[in-house]
Amino acid sequence: MQPHDRSRTVTHAKLTPRECREIAREEKIFICFFARDFQGHHTSGDWKVIEPFRPVSPGQEVTWQAVGQCEELKLDLPETIFENLVENRNMATATVKDDAPPGLHLYEAYVNGQLAIGGSSPGVIVDPGPHT
């Protein structure tokens, strides 16, 4: 076992609570296409939000990415939760408002005009953390 190298340890005590949350949650929300296979033939399929309920924090920038043959990704986000929505072909970003109410908030994602599914409807769970 190697001795612990303290010079490489990230000390979260020097970061603000908001910075700690942003470091912990920089992942993307991926949307992928799943073709249906009927008797060995690929037929139509579904775009699915891979992780349908994602925890987010106030002030966090959230990124969605459609993987596959995506011409256009469009999001229908609740205005009480998100601001600064930017959509660019297969990616979109939005920022969770600082005053977003805690809890589960559903949204809709459309890829090439087709509604993406995830669970019953995809959503974000606003988790204000222990600092509120």
* Domain presence at residue 93: yes
CATH, residue 37: 2.60.40
- Domain membership of residue 45 (yes or no) is yes
Question: Looking at the 3D structure of the chain, how many domains does it have?
Answer: 1
Q: What is the pLDDT of residue 27?
A: 72
Say if CB 15 and CB 23 are below 8 A apart: yes
- Among candidate residues 77, 75, 65, the one with its CA nearest the CA of residue 105: 77
Q: What's residue 20's pLDDT?
A: 56
Asked if residue 12 has pLDDT above 70, the reply is no
**In this structure, is residue 19 part of a structural domain?**
no
CB 118, CB 49: distance < 8 Å: yes
Strands 103-106 and 91-96, how do they pair? unpaired
Using alpha carbons, select from 55, 7, 58 the residue that is nearest to residue 29: 55
Q: Which domain, by its residues, includes 62? A: 28-126
Each residue of 50-90: pLDDT tens digit?
988 999 999 999 999 999 889 999 999 999 999 999 999 99
